[in-house]
Amino acid sequence: MAPASDQRYYPAPPIPSYDEAVAGGSWQQRQHDYPHSPVEYGRAAEGQSLLTSRHPFSSSSSPSTSNQHVGSGRRPGGYRAPTVETDDEGGLLSSDSETDSDTDAEADHVRREMQEMDIDDSGVHGEARGRSTWGKRIGFSLSLPQWRWRWRLPRIPFGRGRTTTGSGAEGAEPGQASGNSDNSRASWLAFPSLGSAALFLIVGRVLAILLVMGFLYLLFASDLFTNMARRMNNNMFDPIKVRNHVKMSIDPRSIRGLMQHYTGYAHIAGTEGDFALAEDTELMFRRFGLEDVTRDTYYVYLNYPKEGGRAVEILGGDGKPTWSAKLEEDDPGGEKAGHQTMAFHGHSKSGDVSGPLLYANYGTKDDYRRLKELGIDTQGAIALVRYGGQPSDRALKVKEAEKAGFAGCLIYSDPADDGFVKGDTAPNGPYMPADGVQRGAVSLMSYVVGDVLTPGWGSRQDQPRLKPEESPALPKIPSLPLAWRDAQILLQHIKEYGVKVPEGWAGGVPDIGQWWTGNSTSPTVRLKNEQDEVTKQPIWNVYGKIIGVEQPEKRIIIGNHRDSWGPGAADPHSGTAVMLELIRIFGDLLADGWRPLRTIEFMSWDGEEYNLIGSTEYVEQNDELLRNDGFAYINLDTAVTGSVLHAAGSPMFNRLLLEVLNDIQDPVFNGTSLRSRWDDRHGELEGLGAGSDYVAFQDIVGMSSLDLHFDGPAYPAHSSYETFDWMDQVGDPGFVYHTLLGQLVGRLILELADRPILPFDMAHYSNSLGKWISELEAWVGEQKSDKKPAGFSVQPLKDAHHDIVTSIREFNKWELSWEGSIISSGGFEPAGLGRKRCEYNARMARFETDLLDEAGIPNRTQFKHVVFGPQLESSYDEEYFPSIRDTIRADEWEAAGILVERVANIIKNAGRRLIE
């Protein structure tokens, strides 16, 4: 049960053992009363509101703390289809195919892990054995960087709230307490006669009591105990054991069950399925024990396909269709995979256009230019392009087609890039099958991030908005995604029109023979894309937290989106399942009295698939709070599609990541540590471009962010093949890498939220800055332009880097002196030193925020970080010093020179503020 926020100090029961956590904690207690989404109404619910009073998890049964609660009787507005279907008859966490051998293997696994945990299991048969043993052994220890010391505080004899010893007053009969007889009590109570020595004794005792009380008052007034008391409860938990406990408690069966639930039915942002899952998420957050669980509604621009609104046809001379594309996938999983959603592009333009068909390879700027060089007229034509290539953004393919004069754009998944040419296809392999379609947004996330009509401010209902035609992020020509099964027919029809394609343009679609470009005499293709467009569609983020005990206002945020184009097993529910499993475990710890030093927040974003909306609106709405108090953001999205770990993020995380990877073993690789696997492949922390919900945190409010995923060779992205069964059988059989990711993220959360000194890698930050400045200098040197001033130089940045190296070195000294004091005082931290440590942490976290430029990147001013941003012309990729590079690319050298100075000053100031 989550404690009330004003009651944070509990008698500290020890943390449960692995057995208890798995068998007796939330896992057992809660699976029977888990949220069952409206899908349990099955087909009867089809076409009806899922949010009627029949909904079992209506607000009336679970009071919401939501700031914008949407009552159970209220439907989410806007798009209703696709409806939801059920396959969750077995309940959320049931394991439908558990065999005896699975159970045995699990038991062995648990035994092994118990040994590794080094739990003192003496008294194993006693009722309170795990708890009392832990309680005795857990001292007041804190996690210093190398785990070298324990802090020592006087042990306070806490009552054990959840265990009884059998020998205390509870077990005694009234009147028999403490072994005092009635007689002795009577003589104690008898009033002494005047002048007796006893009177002096009483007066003396009263004076002594007053003296002691006065002394205690002074102690409390001096703040010494306040500081200690604040952390007392927390410090009954040995951080090392808490870390081991979290690591060992991640349960692949639980993760599997969670994924099964979230992938059971369609839930595109803003639809009924999405709303139902928002309610389930809210309920799960509550039941797992999170505090301040909130649903947060934004009103944003979304589009949805209409029944009969889409067509891709080859037209005959009479204008009538001679062939129509199927558009939708074959039903890959039937009822089990839920109803599939229509194939369309998020944020695509409505329209009904016809023109000659041209094939343009990957649809890059260069590809369209090449067509023109080949003498092919692109004006008013329909572009057929393939997914992939570089840049790979689907939005840029459409935008460049628009700029090249095309009337519409079709994007298909080619088997040479993502299909049978590469390997086995879904449902048996990772690649896209013949009928698989990659849905996805075509809004330009490197231009505008979040709701395309409210760039820069939170899209609350009453806020002003742009008109769709005013948004720089929206394309002006219609587009649709296609399976190669449909593209094949189109490609066959342009044979011998135009010219044979340039080298490298032929894809892997079978039975095409020679590939041709098409030309203005190609068969006419119609692209119809009439849709519902909603400017104020509600979407729902869900938040919950564990309030920190030392600095509750400082927060570590873990986020993952919930909306999905199809079942979403990989994107996003590999991340959802891991995040919820962590919430379950942290919820249990919280219920047992544990709290971190800083607040941990868990967030389920909506609308990520439409330009990262939910997270961006939240950040824009809470801009100041996050700049002041946001310490770190960890993102989980397409978290597991294979076994190779990738991490992208701020250099702040480098040391911590490597340290944690050392402590996690990969069972598939004979227990090799993730660190060894990382080193073997020369793993490096990659840069953050755009592509998921970290963007607003890193680039708008300067919160150091990290995105983590175990990748495979491919996954059937955004298609109806991204099912639970695919994940279960192909993506991550046994949910091994989900489990490892849970261990990794669990550890990172603990280190970030509960280490006395925030484990940020300032030294790596300054080294990385030096490297990126050198790269910028080399790049500038390569730029050829008549407008480039002869003496153009990035020297101001190099000078700023020099300053910052000194500032960071100076700043880091404090940590060493703090460690020295703690050692010399035997682990005791006086209140004043604790306050200084908190200030030190705040300065460290503020460093990234100080790297923001309020003016933003010219022409895309939402992005404010001077060091990082998405590449303008390749948004998935990172850009270092984006404002300077954008300006140079625009051939505006004078402005670039000013920006070099400006960015250098911002970096210098950030360094100075560390130590001033």
Binding site for ligand LI6NEKG2 (CB under 6 A): 440-441, 443, 445, 571, 608-609, 611-612, 637-638, 691-692, 876
Question: What is the nearest approach in angstroms of ligand LI6NEKG2 to the Cβ of residue 885?
Answer: 20
Residue closer to ligand LI6NEKG2, measured from CB, 130 or 691: 691
Residue closer to ligand LI6NEKG2, measured from CB, 440 or 742: 440
Both tokens of residue 740?
A: 């490892």
Question: What is the nearest approach in angstroms of ligand LI6NEKG2 to the Cβ of residue 606?
Answer: 12
Cis peptide before 455 (omega within 30 of 0): no
Question: What is the nearest approach in angstroms of ligand LI6NEKG2 to the Cβ of residue 640?
Answer: 10
Question: What is the nearest approach in angstroms of ligand LI6NEKG2 to the Cβ of residue 693?
Answer: 9
User: Which is it for strands 630-635 and 551-561: parallel, antiparallel or unpaired?
Assistant: parallel
Residue closer to ligand LI6NEKG2, measured from CB, 610 or 735: 610
User: In whole angstroms, what separates CA 700 from the centre of its chain?
Assistant: 16
Question: What is the nearest approach in angstroms of ligand LI6NEKG2 to the Cβ of residue 707?
Answer: 7
Under a CB-based contact definition with an 8 Å cutoff, are residues 569 and 578 in contact? Answer: no
Both tokens of residue 462?
A: 């009453």
Question: What is the nearest approach in angstroms of ligand LI6NEKG2 to the Cβ of residue 678?
Answer: 19
Residue closer to ligand LI6NEKG2, measured from CB, 149 or 876: 876
Residue closer to ligand LI6NEKG2, measured from CB, 801 or 860: 860
How far apart CA 13 and CA 15 sit, in angstroms, is 6
Residue closer to ligand LI6NEKG2, measured from CB, 138 or 441: 441
Q: Give me Rg for the CA atoms of the chain.
A: 31
Question: What is the nearest approach in angstroms of ligand LI6NEKG2 to the Cβ of residue 796?
Answer: 34
Residue closer to ligand LI6NEKG2, measured from CB, 620 or 761: 620
Q: Residue 312 — φ and ψ, nearest 5°?
A: -125, 115
Question: What is the nearest approach in angstroms of ligand LI6NEKG2 to the Cβ of residue 733?
Answer: 21
Under a CB-based contact definition with an 8 Å cutoff, are residues 644 and 710 in contact? Answer: yes
Question: What is the nearest approach in angstroms of ligand LI6NEKG2 to the Cβ of residue 712?
Answer: 13
Under a CB-based contact definition with an 8 Å cutoff, are residues 82 and 342 in contact? Answer: yes
Single out the residue of 858, 861, 851, 855 nearest to residue 456, CA to CA. 861
Query: Could you say which DSSP state residue 21 is in?
Result: I
Kindly list the distances between the CA atom of residue 113 and the CA atoms of 1, 106, 412, in Å, as whole numbers in the listed order: 27, 10, 47
From first CA to last CA, the distance across the chain in angstroms is 44
Residue closer to ligand LI6NEKG2, measured from CB, 583 or 612: 612
How far apart CA 571 and CA 580 sit, in angstroms, is 15
Question: What is the nearest approach in angstroms of ligand LI6NEKG2 to the Cβ of residue 691?
Answer: 3
How far apart CA 722 and CA 719 sit, in angstroms, is 6
Residue closer to ligand LI6NEKG2, measured from CB, 397 or 545: 397
**Bridge partner list, 384:** 359, 410
Both tokens of residue 749?
A: 């959360």
Question: What is the nearest approach in angstroms of ligand LI6NEKG2 to the Cβ of residue 734?
Answer: 22
Residue linked to tokens 């935008």:
399
Residue closer to ligand LI6NEKG2, measured from CB, 251 or 878: 878
How far apart CA 344 and CA 325 sit, in angstroms, is 13
Residue closer to ligand LI6NEKG2, measured from CB, 289 or 607: 607
Question: Residues 194, 197, 201, CA angle at the centre, nearest 5°?
Answer: 105
Residue closer to ligand LI6NEKG2, measured from CB, 408 or 691: 691
Question: What is the nearest approach in angstroms of ligand LI6NEKG2 to the Cβ of residue 126?
Answer: 47
Question: What is the nearest approach in angstroms of ligand LI6NEKG2 to the Cβ of residue 843?
Answer: 31
Residue closer to ligand LI6NEKG2, measured from CB, 623 or 707: 707
How far apart CA 523 and CA 501 sit, in angstroms, is 17
Single out the residue of 483, 417, 472 nearest to residue 443, CA to CA. 472
Cα dihedral: 619, 620, 625, 630 (round 10): 30
Under a CB-based contact definition with an 8 Å cutoff, are residues 14 and 134 in contact? Answer: yes
Residue closer to ligand LI6NEKG2, measured from CB, 564 or 599: 564
Total length of the chain: 916
Under a CB-based contact definition with an 8 Å cutoff, are residues 367 and 758 in contact? Answer: no
Both tokens of residue 562?
A: 């919930």
Kindly list the distances between the CA atom of residue 866 and the CA atoms of 164, 333, 874, in Å, as whole numbers in the listed order: 58, 47, 18
Under a CB-based contact definition with an 8 Å cutoff, are residues 415 and 433 in contact? Answer: no
Question: What is the nearest approach in angstroms of ligand LI6NEKG2 to the Cβ of residue 363?
Answer: 15
**E-assigned strands of 235-344?**
291-315, 321-324
- CB proximity list for 46: less than 8 A, separation 6 or greater: 83, 85
Both tokens of residue 861?
A: 């001013």
Residue closer to ligand LI6NEKG2, measured from CB, 440 or 559: 440
Question: What is the nearest approach in angstroms of ligand LI6NEKG2 to the Cβ of residue 411?
Answer: 12
Residue linked to tokens 């296609």:
482
Helix (H, G, I), strand (E, B) or coil at 631: strand
Question: What is the nearest approach in angstroms of ligand LI6NEKG2 to the Cβ of residue 569?
Answer: 13
Continuous H helices in 517-664: 573-591, 613-621, 623-629, 654-662
Question: What is the nearest approach in angstroms of ligand LI6NEKG2 to the Cβ of residue 654?
Answer: 20
Residue closer to ligand LI6NEKG2, measured from CB, 50 or 748: 748
Residue closer to ligand LI6NEKG2, measured from CB, 413 or 443: 443
Under a CB-based contact definition with an 8 Å cutoff, are residues 291 and 37 in contact? Answer: no
Both tokens of residue 335?
A: 């009822």
Under a CB-based contact definition with an 8 Å cutoff, are residues 851 and 865 in contact? Answer: yes
Query: In what helix (H) or strand (E) does residue 440 lie, and over which residues does it extend?
Result: strand 440-441
- CB proximity list for 19: less than 8 A, separation 6 or greater: 110, 114, 130
Single out the residue of 894, 879, 885 nearest to residue 783, CA to CA. 885
Residue closer to ligand LI6NEKG2, measured from CB, 20 or 571: 571
